[in-house]
Amino acid sequence: MKIIKNTCALIVCLWACAQVSAQTLTQKVGNSVSIYSLQVQPNTSYKLNFAQSSQSLSIVYAPGQHIGESYLSSGEQRFKLYANLHSTSNTQQYSHPILLKAGVQQCTFYSGKLKGELELHVYHLGNTQAVKQKVRAHKARFRTREACGKPGSVPQSVWRAGLTPEPIPDPVVTDVKHLIVHHSVSSNDAADQVAILRGIYLYHRVTLGWNDIAYNYLIAPDGTIYEGRDPQGKEAEGDNIRGGHFCTGRQDGTMGVCLLGTFTDYEPPVVMLSSLVDLLVWKVKKDGMDPFGAFAHPINNPVVAALPVVAPHRAGCSTQCPGDKVFERMEALREKINADVQVCAGKTDECAPLRLTGELYNGVDQLVADVDAAINQCQNSNTGCEQFCTGKVFTDRLSELRSKIQAIEQICNTQPQNCVTPCSSAALLNKLTTVEQTLNAQIQFWFAASSLVPQQVAQLQTEVNNALKQCQLNVDSCQQFYPTNAFEARIKALNLRIDSLQGLCNADAATDAQKAEALRSTLQSLEQAIATQVAQLSEDEAIGVYPNPVASNGVLVIKSLHYQKIRNIRLVNILGKAVDLPRNIIDQRGLLVLLPKIPSGWYMLEFQLEGKIVRRRLLIL
């Protein structure tokens, strides 16, 4: 029977782990998309073979299933699949598209929890290197734009060259009231942004069945602006063409701008944000929009009572788009757009360095990023820790930034006519305060008031002193010292930490070795105090008799670290005659001895503890 069970288990394992080649080509859409059908079982790997090289693909699967454990792999690359929560129907769900580093004709799909029939949508992106050359050639023709004019952008006809199917004809023009910011949820490490762009187009046009790419504009990490929806002659620009980027059925009145990347916990590049600002400044100025305004959306049948004119995707739809790192900059984005529009009209703005993409705004963000990176490097690889010996490399930058910010703040307070309002330095100064606190927690022991090691020594000193006092009052509290010293390991660890830090930083001229010695002296004093207490406890065997004197017919408590081992208790008067003791009780207070009514005077209390006779004089009142 055991052999049969093992054989069955082996067969199940081989079935689940085997790579099965089972996909069937069911449809070709244009020259750029192949759709395959694949029957899958859970937790199974499938070897996929494509007739044509592919660099991007997505999965279409049945409702009610979870794609979280599924992935695609090619060589050493593994790509986790994520559900597209914005695009669902009653009959199917979609993954976000993934982009491989190079075109392949083979890859492996692991099903995870998926089962049943899936569709693989395989996108053939063509010669993206040739397309990138066309993009570079087009960008080379960009000219310096007029104040608040439209920034240079790459039209769809350039970046989409060779892809079919074409956009559906006759796009709809809409009266734009809201400028919606998105992120594409694509890789931040991808080198080929043109390939990502072409993959998004095919995903939107074929897999999701939309008229065209969803967005009006897309911005790459290098700041390149790509035109999205093709106006097809309906208007000169594409900013008023109705897109497919907002909530289902609520596309009217919106222009969508997508930042290529995933900005949940990844900072958007400054050059990308600069292009976003330039694009939105052009649109706001051209159409006379108020970047601080808000309107009901949709106008005829409002779902959102006050959707901001410049809004993140999540302001109107159930989503985390455009990622936390973009979302937290939305108010700064509105202020920057407002200021730049006024500067275009001739206004002076001394506050510009404090605004989004400004010199000091970027300087503060860069300092925060550098400190975080240095801390992670020190903690994870134990390298670069010397930067925190005095922290001077960071504190000097912090002080310089703070001084410059405060100087601009002073100018705007005394010359408000030269600063566009609002001009607030509070957010940047708060960031500097936070990074200063982070630095102080890392800077080592010679900054005794603020660093971690002195705080740990001071905390240990307080705990030891309190424990020593409690031990004097109540023998039960002595268990922290006797028979085992509970503080020994922490004292040893702190001594080693101090030695390590001083060895690391002794080449730093700002290092104060005297403070290190002071900390060592404190730890040595604690060791001596504990040793003295332990010696006394050992000598006294840590025994206490309470109360003494005690009333006749009262209760006597014998306290000891080992009171459960006390045996043969006797009470002897001065004549050497033993007194009968009616009863002894052990409870959490110790060993309770119930005394009979006996004459007052001096007595000797005797008992055995671990084979030794212990005697204590006792006064009966």
Q: Does residue 321 share a domain with residue 277? A: yes
501 within a domain of the structure (yes/no):
yes
pLDDT at 113 (0 to 100): 95
pLDDT digit string, tens, across residues 477-508: 777 876 678 898 999 988 887 777 777 776 55
536, 603: one domain: no
Mean pLDDT over each residue of the chain, to the nearest integer? 86
pLDDT at 439 over 90: no
Answer whether residue 9 is part of any domain.
no
pLDDT digits (tens, 9 = 90+) for 381-437: 777 777 877 778 898 999 999 999 999 999 999 999 999 999 989 999 999 999 998
Per residue in 373-382, pLDDT (tens digit) is: 988 888 787 7
Backbone angles phi, psi at 461, to 5 degrees: -60, -45
Is 247 found in the same domain as 156? yes
Closest CA to 542 of 561, 568, 523: 561
> Would you say residue 301 lies in a domain?
yes
pLDDT score, position 59 = 95
* Amino acid (one-letter) located at 67: I
Secondary structure (3-state) at 47: strand
Q: Clarify whether residues 591 and 472 are in a common domain.
A: no
Instruction: Check residue 507 and give its pLDDT.
Output: 56
pLDDT surpasses 50 at 1:
no
What's the confidence (pLDDT) of residue 24? 87
How many Cβ atoms from other residues are within 10 Å of residue 375's Cβ?
Answer: 18
pLDDT-based confidence at 10, cuts 50/70/90?
A: very low
Burial code (b: 16+ CB inside 10 Å, e: under 16) for 546-556 equals eeeebeeeeeb
Say yes or no to pLDDT of 256 above 90: yes
- For residue 446, the model assigns a pLDDT of 46
- The residue that leads in pLDDT, 592 or 370, is 370
Please enumerate in sequence order all residues whose Cβ is within 8 A of that of 156, keeping only pairs 6 or more positions apart, or say none: 167, 213, 226, 227, 228, 229, 230
Alpha helices in 146-192 (DSSP H): 156-159
CATH of the domain at 241: 3.40.80.10
The answer on pLDDT for 349 being more than 80 is yes
What is the maximum span of the chain, computed from C-alpha positions, in angstroms?
123
pLDDT for the residue 449: 46
Reported as a single tens digit per residue, the pLDDT across 299-326 is: 777 888 899 999 999 999 889 999 999 9
Q: Which of 83-92, 156-165, 315-324 has the lowest mean pLDDT?
A: 83-92
- Position 106 in a domain: yes
Residue 233 Ramachandran class (φ > 0 left, ψ -120 to 50 alpha, else beta): left
For 25, phi then psi, to 5°, come to: -70, 120
The structure tokens 């705004």 sit at 361
453 with 445: CB under 8 angstroms?
yes
My answer on whether 228 and 314 are in the same domain is: yes
Q: In terms of residue numbers, what domain contains 285?
A: 128-347
Q: For 26, phi and psi rounded to 5 degrees?
A: -110, -20
Q: Would you state the pLDDT for residue 537? A: 67
pLDDT at 562 over 80: no
Q: Do the domain assignments include residue 352?
A: no
Domain termination site, one of 389, 424, 442: 442
390 and 262 within one domain: no
What is the rounded average pLDDT of the residues 603-608? Answer: 87
Q: Which of 149-163, 287-301, 502-516 has the lowest mean pLDDT?
A: 502-516
Q: 10 Å Cβ neighbour count for 50?
A: 19
Task: Please give the average per-residue pLDDT across 66-94, as a whole number.
Answer: 88
pLDDT at 12: 39
Identify whether residues 266 and 190 lie together within a single domain: yes
Helix H segments across 140-175? 156-159
* Total domains present in the chain: 5
pLDDT digits (tens, 9 = 90+) for 167-207: 999 999 999 999 999 999 988 988 899 999 999 999 999 99
Nearest alpha-carbon partner for 426 in 361, 471, 508 = 361
Percent of the chain with pLDDT over 90: 52
Judgement on whether residues 333 and 366 belong to the same structural domain of the protein: no
| 515 and 585, same domain (yes or no) | no
Distance between terminal CA atoms of the chain? 81
Residue 7 counted as domain residue: no
Residue-level pLDDT at 391: 79
Question: Do 320 and 293 belong together in one domain?
Answer: yes
Last residue of a domain, one of 414, 442, 470: 442
Whether residues 134 and 237 fall in one domain: yes
Q: Label residue 126 by pLDDT band (50, 70, 90).
A: very high
* 447 is a domain residue: no
CB 24 within 8 A of CB 37: yes
Cα–Cα dist 126/355, whole Å: 41
pTM for this predicted structure: 0.73
596 and 512 fall within a common domain: no
Q: What pLDDT, on the 0 to 100 scale, is given for residue 19?
A: 53
pLDDT of residue 508: 56
Q: Is the pLDDT reported for residue 15 higher than 60?
A: no
Domain boundary among 123, 142, 159: 123
Give the SS3 label for residue 94.
strand
Instruction: Please report where in the chains the tokens 């971690």 appear, as a residue.
Output: 452
Report CA-CA distances (Å) from 89 to 84, 203, 249, 270, 324.
11, 16, 13, 37, 27
Q: Is 8 inside any structural domain?
A: no
Which CATH number belongs to the domain containing residue 600 in this structure?
2.60.40.10
